[in-house]
Structure 1
Amino acid sequence: MNIKKYTTTLLCATGLLAVSVLAACGGSSDRGRDPILGLPAAELVSVTVTPPTATVLTGASQQFIATASYADGTSRNVTDVSVWASASPTIARVTPAGGLATGLTPGSAAITAAFGAKTGAATLVVNAQVPVNPPAVISVTGLSVTPAAASVRVGASQQFTAIATYSDSSTAVITNDVKWTSGSTATATVAASGSATGVTVGNTVITATSGDKSATGALTVTPALIIDPPPVVPPVVPPVVPPVVPPVVPPVVPPVTNPPVVTPPVIEAPSDGGIGLGRAREFAVLAVTTITNNAGGTTLVTGDVGAPLQNVEPEQPLGFRNVKSGFELSGPYQDLQVAVINANNRPCAILSDAGIDLGGLVLQPGVYCYSGAISLTGKLTLSGNGPYIFRAKSTLTTMANSTIELINGARADNVFWVPVEATTLGANSAFKGTVLSRGEDITLGDGATVLNGRLLSGKAVTLRNNKITK
């Protein structure tokens, strides 16, 4: 009797335990959320896929996330337990488990995630890959040399300029970037800067080479120019009157004859000081390579202008020329070199082993030679008619607002400045005379003026709001 009672009790307990387990575990992902407490599962409300819209290029991938939301306000990530699909598998594919989508062809595809009885969706836009074109390579397509033909005397120099043409039709001066050679170094030599110097009478070819491109210019060397010194005017000697011997007949006294008074002639100094500017005389600004002038500025040049390359042509009054032809400029270039040689051959009245600041000095006509630089601070006064030649083995520099005053017959066209190195005229300075630069730059500061003078350079000239009158 007791055995039956205990057996019935055990069977009932076992049945209740099984019912509790089945009620707790459910058999679905949406039920049995709290098996310990035995609470009923919250109802699945929706599935959301993020991001809602995404864009990728063909071949690229996008990870989507599936989130389940429940009626009790909770949510959880169900990405790995959802079933994923693409509405347009030819445009984009997606891993069935995991939500990783990959773009295949340009277009738009709906990506869905199914969990329980709910489905969420997002949109994947696939764009085509944009080809990247390599940058265009600009190369040198041509090379030219100016002047194409030139003539110099023995001992004089001719500046050649190399101009490159590129594949984009642009051009540039590359004189210092090419290799220069002379066809006959016995006739003429050429420096790395393109300056050729005559050695002996004859003809040669000057060649510029850059990579596989080359160009030539013809050079004729003529005999050296021999300039005769000005004639020496002998002093006027009054005639010798033989004494009158009176007859010995006293008391007759012979008449006294006085010699005539002779006034020696006045010899005027040549207007260019005897240096001889030749065909360069008509130019107020002359450069062998380039003239650089500020755009929209107030530069005014009263005289001829000459250079093969000019970024902004300076303003000129009517009646004056702007020459760019290498052939037309070869003559003035040649005469500039001769003028420098003539100036350097003048004997020095003042010879110094150092440089000098001419500010505050009053000087008379003569040849002033300095082994250092010449500078000017303040005012220089030149007094008296005659040539003034200032030679420097270094630079010529005038400070801002410096001036040159001419008194007692001194004339600007008799003043010559011959530096070996570069010339710089300070801003708002008032300069007078002709600068003869055989192979270096001449640079004018803002507002500097050159009245009754010239800027003649064997290289380049830079201007900025200047007034220049030859």
Structure 2
Amino acid sequence: MNLFKRYLNPLLVSAGLLAMATLAGCGGGDQGRDPILGLPAATLSSLAVTPATATVAIGAGQQFTAIATYSDGSAQDVSAKAAWTSATSASATVNAATGLSTGIAAGNSSISATFGGKSAAAQLTVSPATLTAIAIVPLAPAIAIGATQQFTVTGSFSDGATRDVTAVSAFASANPATASIAAGGLALGKIAGTTQITATTGTLTASTVLTVTPATLLSIAVTPQNPIVPVAATRQLAVLATYSDGSSVDVTSGSSFVSATPASATVASGGLVTGVTFGTSVMNASFNGKTASTTVTVPAITLVSIAVTPATASIVVGAQQQFIATATYSDSSNAIITNSAAWTSGTVANASVLNTGVATGIAAGTSSITATAGGQSGSALLTVTAVAIPPVLNPILLGRAASFGVLAGTSITNNSGGTTLVTGDVGSPSQTVDPTQAAGFTNYKSGAILAGAMTDLQAAITDGNSRTCDVSFAGGVDLGGQTFGPGVYCYAGAISITGTLTLNGPGVYIFRTALTLNSTVNSVVALNNGATADNVTWLPVGPTTLAANSVFKGNILGQSAAITVGDNTTLLNGRVLTAAAVTLRNNQITK
């Protein structure tokens, strides 16, 4: 044992000395620059961050790299050793240890790296979130023939948000003979079978299979049950069919109707009941071998008078006016009897009238429009004026504002998570939730382009207000239910639109109001016979409010008042331009 230790100790000492010499020759792992060898250590000369500029969408990431350059010309990736910071964390954040940056909100931020006493930075631009995927629901539904199925489309965006994009999606059925699908995603089963339903949003698509199953008719029901219909008044019956799959379908249009006692009440082929004399009558309906009935009661009251409204009206030759007949009974009750009354025109050379109460101007002059029912009658006076042939109007030129679908001098407020889609440029210095835009258009928040558009907007308003009025009215007007030809229409009071306003014929239309412009829920501006939205201009002095679910056409030019566009309202071929504020909510605006 002692002999073994005698030789072991010198060997251990020799091995230790050899290891120390080896480490000294390697420079201690510092690229051979160890002072042991007498060589000076390289010093850090500079630091650079790459890429120098980058752009990401909200929610997307960008990896930055920090490169250190030393005095001996060598370079080293020090990304994992550097300290990373973001100058504007509201727009973009950065992992302090790795240099991985993430877009938070549209804007810009300087991404900096610090290492060895040196600093460097890169610029990161965060663009609005982009649509990355869509999904259609429900998946693989089944409906009976004649039933409907509403499909919805959910979009996933680069910022991780999901939104309902049904309103801006296009739908198609691979086999429309089996099931058709409307623009809003409502499918209708037609014959038994299957079809692929496809939704397209931008360049993205999603699909599902819709199965249409046969259904057996179980029963039908007539509604309302036991209605009361006064003399000369009307009431519409409806027939609902119930099928073996549990569905109910309105089959009124395909049903036949018979009145058991037509002396008391009659029923038309479409189910419209008219009271004749005091009494009752059973109304029988039949559909595909099934029958149902309801009892109509005509009360023991007498028709006292008929009022026709409006009492006076004026239209131009070729235009139409809807008159309403209202009956008053002996018990002081009232009923609208427009569709059951007999209508006549006192001077048919000047105006004609349909049995629906719609009068048409034939020639300049006046005519008494009379409704008769139950031995009573009422009249209104219709004045027909000749159509003045206006000089050809030049359209109002928007100049640099023409590329904008939405332009606001102060601010744009858009609902978060909504489905607003603007096909056109957007401009405003302050925007709450940037509206989604179709490809190829720009959102301007400052700069010469925005300033130029605002200047040309005011020039266009001045031009429109300088045009000579073809029609001037000292009060306000409800344009709903009326038809207008091209011209300049000036009103001292407010303009409202209830129902449908029809603009008929090619040419320039200018509507000016010294007060407000308002449309009601579900109102429509319709263009017929060559009228185009680009040639329709609205010039309100006061605020504009377009109610929910309305369909508006033309350019709204606000000089200094706000414009509010209601929920799900569309401006297809129109613009919202004002020097003040604009409020949007789930809208489609196409310039």
Class of the TM-score when normalised by the shorter of the 2 chains: 0.3 to 0.5
With normalisation by structure 2, the TM-score equals 0.34
With normalisation by structure 1, the TM-score equals 0.42
Larger radius of gyration: 1
More strand by share: 2
